């Protein structure tokens, strides 16, 4: 039986699982590919460590990643090192030497998808990266291939497990952000420095990749409006609960109504509990897709972890290997539309606003006048008396531009009768 040779760059949490699956499922994989998948080498940072990765012949380990990526007897290079460099250079080296590339590198793809695809095309090789977004969940292939006959209008995703775990804890246990973060860290769901997750950088990279594929337009991390969850309070979560909603960190990619621009944003938002994404618990991920003909779809599963990510990597390896055997190539990168990023101010959304106000006649009239002045229509107002001369107003608006809503909040801040704008959060999912 023929064989297809695989080089593995990186052998950490994901890489070691890829090696294990290649070994344990070797016979099944051979049947599916039509050739045996043979590990040609594994690049690691140091050889000194005890290398007992299941099924890997110790002689295959090397510290010369560039040499391995450049080997001409390799068919598919799997990059699971992560980060921009040296991953980017190694991927280019692999392509220049005729290898197809499978990577899980979201940071790199969010920055460089177009030039990486251009290089793949130039060298006549495949580039797959299913594992870069939402771990094991098949998402990029369905968007790129299954939905290729349809028109995607909107993608709404929970694509970061750490923040979903934290928000879920805040919702179910009434914890503060800090308490929930500490618990997530203790359980290994959050890193010691949680910035990339809680400030939305990780989700923004995934949103950029998703938007690029869904709307056939180049989108980079820098085009993504990003807000994290570190300012979400227990009061916000309780307020959401009171209106039958839940707070989630959402990655939202949407085509403007005229179809000419693409808005991409990551921020916490209130979502009705009846929305399919509202039930996504713990560290799970899910992505909700609205398409013209297909309607509403959702893809759900584990968004991280060694084995789930390795499953997605290996699915791409099987496809790249089949293409190699058939002397064919998978679908190319496809950014024919070149729709510019829409500015956040033009985004149409709803706001949930809590105000600490003096409990005097005329307060609501003054507040309502500020909304009217900016053309923002109010959907509901709830007033809670907190004490003598002290009340909380909770206002949910109808849809308006983010620019008008921001100006409204500024106007409210200037009112004498408003002591404090306690919280402002977008409302999504309708």
The contacts of residue 428 (CB under 8 Å, 6+ apart) are 156, 250, 252, 269, 270, 271, 349, 350
Nearer to a copy of itself, 216 or 419 (CB): 216
**Dihedral angle of Cα 167, 171, 175, 178, to the nearest 10 degrees:** 10
User: In angstroms, rounded to a whole number, what is the distance separating the alpha carbons of residues 138 and 160?
Assistant: 15
CB 394 within 8 A of CB 354: yes
Segment interacting with a copy of itself, rule: CB under 8 A, options 21-29, 69-77, 188-196, 421-429: 21-29
User: In angstroms, rounded to a whole number, what is the distance separating the alpha carbons of residues 91 and 117?
Assistant: 11
Q: How far is the CB of 260 from a copy of itself (least distance, A)?
A: 14
User: In angstroms, rounded to a whole number, what is the distance separating the alpha carbons of residues 367 and 107?
Assistant: 43
Q: How far is the CB of 369 from a copy of itself (least distance, A)?
A: 41
Tokens of 179: 């308490």
Nearer to a copy of itself, 175 or 319 (CB): 319
Nearer to a copy of itself, 198 or 317 (CB): 317
CB 423 within 8 A of CB 367: no
Segment interacting with a copy of itself, rule: CB under 8 A, options 38-46, 147-155, 354-362, 421-429: 147-155
CB 369 within 8 A of CB 417: no
Q: How far is the CB of 12 from a copy of itself (least distance, A)?
A: 16
In the set 112, 126, 130, 392, which binds a copy of itself (CB under 8 A)?
Answer: 130
Q: How far is the CB of 313 from a copy of itself (least distance, A)?
A: 7
The answer to the question of residue 297 lying near a copy of itself (CB under 8 A) is: yes
Segment interacting with a copy of itself, rule: CB under 8 A, options 41-49, 57-65, 297-305, 410-418: 297-305
Q: Would you call 251 helix, strand, or coil by DSSP?
A: strand
Burial class (CB in 10 A: 0-12, 13-18, 19+), 86: middle
CB 240 within 8 A of CB 273: no
The answer to the question of residue 23 lying near a copy of itself (CB under 8 A) is: no
Neighbours of 406 (CB within 10 A): 15
Segment interacting with a copy of itself, rule: CB under 8 A, options 87-95, 143-151, 167-175, 340-348: 143-151
Residues 205-224 binding a copy of itself (CB under 8 A) are: 216
Question: Any idea what DSSP says for residue 59?
Answer: G
Segment interacting with a copy of itself, rule: CB under 8 A, options 42-50, 85-93, 222-230, 328-336: 328-336
- Give the distance from CA 172 to its chain's centroid: 23
**Mask: binding to a copy of itself, 251-290, rule CB under 8 A, as x and -?**
-------------------------x--x------x----
CB 81 within 8 A of CB 87: yes
Instruction: Give phi and psi for 271, each to the nearest 5.
Output: -130, 130
Neighbours of 164 (CB within 10 A): 27
Number of H helices, E strands in the chain: 14, 17
Size of the site for a copy of itself (CB under 8 A): 59
Q: Would you call 351 helix, strand, or coil by DSSP?
A: strand
**Mask: binding to a copy of itself, 305-324, rule CB under 8 A, as x and -?**
x-xx-xxxxxxxxxx--xx-
Residues tagged active-site: 206
Q: How far is the CB of 101 from a copy of itself (least distance, A)?
A: 16
**Mask: binding to a copy of itself, 24-53, rule CB under 8 A, as x and -?**
-x--xx-xx---------------------
Question: Which residues of the shown chain bind a copy of itself in the complex (CB under 8 A)?
Answer: 17, 21, 25, 28-29, 31-32, 130, 136-138, 141-142, 145-151, 216, 276, 279, 286, 291-302, 305, 307-308, 310-319, 322-323, 326-329, 331, 334, 336-337
């Amino acid at each position: 039986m023929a064989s297809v040779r695989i080089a593995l760059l990186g052998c950490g949490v994901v890489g070691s699982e890829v090696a294990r699956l290649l070994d344990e499922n070797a016979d099944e994989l051979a049947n599916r590919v039509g050739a045996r998948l043979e590990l040609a080498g594994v690049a690691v940072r140091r050889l000194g460590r005890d290398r007992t990765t299941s099924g890997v012949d110790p002689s295959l380990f090397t510290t010369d990643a560039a040499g391995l990526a450049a080997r001409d007897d390799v068919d598919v290079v799997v990059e699971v090192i992560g980060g921009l460099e040296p991953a980017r250079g190694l991927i280019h080296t692999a392509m220049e030497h005729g290898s197809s590339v499978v990577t899980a590198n979201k940071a790199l793809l969010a920055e460089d998808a177009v030039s990486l695809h251009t290089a793949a095309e130039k060298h006549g090789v495949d580039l797959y990266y299913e594992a870069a977004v939402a771990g094991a969940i098949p998402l990029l292939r369905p968007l790129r291939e299954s939905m290729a006959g349809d028109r995607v209008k909107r993608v709404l995703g929970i694509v970061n497990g750490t923040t979903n775990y934290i928000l879920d804890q805040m919702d179910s246990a009434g914890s503060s952000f800090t308490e929930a973060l500490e618990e997530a860290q203790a359980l290994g769901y959050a890193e010691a420095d949680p910035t990339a997750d809680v400030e939305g950088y990780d989700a923004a990279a995934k949103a950029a990749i998703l938007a690029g594929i869904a709307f056939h337009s180049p989108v980079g991390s820098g085009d993504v409006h990003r807000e994290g969850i570190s300012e979400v309070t227990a009061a916000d979560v309780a307020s959401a609960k009171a209106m039958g909603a839940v707070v989630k960190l959402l990655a939202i990619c949407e085509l403007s109504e005229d179809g000419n621009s693409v808005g991409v944003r990551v921020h916490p938002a209130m979502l009705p509990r009846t929305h399919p994404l509202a039930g996504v618990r713990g560290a799970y991920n899910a992505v909700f897709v609205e398409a013209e003909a297909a309607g509403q779809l959702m893809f759900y599963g584990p968004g991280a972890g060694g084995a789930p990510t390795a499953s997605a990597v290996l699915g791409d390896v099987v496809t790249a290997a089949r293409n190699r055997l058939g002397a064919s190539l998978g679908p190319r990168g496809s950014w024919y539309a070149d729709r510019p990023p829409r500015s956040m101010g033009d985004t149409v959304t709803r706001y949930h606003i809590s105000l600490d106000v003096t409990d005097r006649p005329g307060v609501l009239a003054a507040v309502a006048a500020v909304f009217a002045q900016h053309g923002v229509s109010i959907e509901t107002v709830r007033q809670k008396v907190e004490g003598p001369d002290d009340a909380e107003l909770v206002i949910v608006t109808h849809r308006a531009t983010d620019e008008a809503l921001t100006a409204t909040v500024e106007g409210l801040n200037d009112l004498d009768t408003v002591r404090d704008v306690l919280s402002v959060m977008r409302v999504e999912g309708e």
